[in-house]
Structure 1
């Protein structure tokens, strides 16, 4: 049986999601930050005939993330997502979301490695660059930097989501600037009591090969690991993967995004 989840389900839901806390960091983070009763966020649970929770589906704005460690009502979740007017923006563990491919109008598919970092393995020395932490006043500069980079697709909702993450302390952005111009930044999102996701690792094309992003990543790792949190990230570029692994990340699975 599938039904909407609410605050009364919280203890059961969190116990269920903590089976794989890193893979569920988006769902955990969004529940901790926004709860169960927001216009932009909904959660559904699939319960077996004994009343045990066996799957969860999150809608955050126009994106969906399912989680299930075993069998569940795939068609039931697909029916909920088909109510979306356009192609469904779906993401999750690769083997799980692949089951939805024949059931939904999905967008472009991207498969990435999913990795996590739980310790600081590099020498902790002072950076040769001044690394700053962004505030709400820096949002437009962050978006402007990302828009200068061909690999980034800056969506209409990107600014609103960045503002919301800073306002609710569910994400941070660190950056380096030269002559008052932001040249490199690294953001986190879905920050919760257990973990956070690294996103938006970017450097202006005219300022690459200077080690900016690596220096910012070290600062991000230090801040989060010292506070007892796991850092996670996606990558699909083997060269980037080697850099992340030198900084202490290790692969824990595959993640697919459609949209």
Structure 2
């Protein structure tokens, strides 16, 4: 049986997801943050004959995350539901789950990343004192930075402002004397267990100065101060070496994404952007 979730289902959903709080970080964080009344988010649950939840499907904007095991009775229910959703640009989740969808979504390309965790920093980068939280007045400069650093921005000023007002986003930046952002990174989602670091980048002319390391370290410190682990995804070996030097350790968890082939060189919400 499948049903669309409402507030009354919150505890049941979170109990199901708590079995693997790191792998399910995005889904837990989105449910805790956006609940069940947001136009940006929908949550469905699938139950077995004893009414126990065995799978969850979450849509957040153009992204979908299915959560279930390898032998999932509800797969033939989730697949057509997923295919019916409009303007989906990414299907993400545990690799063992996403691989089940790959053959039915041939227009999408499968990529895999490693999940790494940091509880204790091994070093404090030299430029960490330059890092500061982005203020609301700095949002236009942040959007300009994203365009220069990544060649695009998927953000808009009003949603970022609303997220900052609601304290659901944390962006750390390094600026020059003119107030231009040279490097930035953010926590995409936080739960009681951990915070997910994404969108780390430095503009090309300033790379090699250790700014990315400083941004990452500052976000790790933020998590530490709240008694949480910091985590991130990566697929690039050079990025992995940077993370390991700072104190991140690879887990056995693998996160995969299905995305349009023509978007191969672009990044989405669930990928780290590291330089």
Q: TM-score, normalising length from structure 1?
A: 0.90
CA–CA separation in structure 2 for the residues paired with 1:59 and 1:247: 33
Aligned length: 256
- Where does residue 67 of structure 1 map in the other structure? 67
Map of 1:28-177 to 2, 5 A cutoff? 28-72=28-72, 73-86=74-87, 88-104=89-105, 106-122=107-123, 127=127, 129-150=129-150, 153-155=152-154, 157=155, 159=157, 162-177=160-175
Question: Contact 1:87–1:107 (CA<8 Å) still a contact in 2?
Answer: no
Stretches of structure 2 that go unaligned for 5 or more consecutive residues are 260-275
CA offset at residue 258 of structure 1?
2.2
- Where does residue 178 of structure 1 map in the other structure? 176
Q: CA offsets per residue over residues 102-124 of structure 1, 9 Å max, x none?
A: 2236534332221122223335x
Question: Contact 1:33–1:168 (CA<8 Å) still a contact in 2?
Answer: no
Return closer, same or farther for 1:143/1:42 CA change in 2, 3 Å cut-off. Answer: same
Map of 1:181-192 to 2, 5 A cutoff? 181-192=180-191
Stretches of structure 1 that go unaligned for 5 or more consecutive residues are none
CA–CA separation in structure 2 for the residues paired with 1:113 and 1:238: 10
Question: Contact 1:88–1:104 (CA<8 Å) still a contact in 2?
Answer: no
Residue aligned with 1:36, SS: coil
Q: CA offsets per residue over residues 200-231 of structure 1, 9 Å max, x none?
A: 10001000111111112111111111211121
Between stretches 112-121 and 159-168, larger displacement belongs to 159-168
- Where does residue 215 of structure 1 map in the other structure? 214
CA offset at residue 133 of structure 1?
0.1
CA offset at residue 142 of structure 1?
1.5
- Where does residue 247 of structure 1 map in the other structure? 246
Question: Contact 1:119–1:248 (CA<8 Å) still a contact in 2?
Answer: yes
4+ residue runs over 6 A deviation: none
Return closer, same or farther for 1:30/1:86 CA change in 2, 3 Å cut-off. Answer: closer
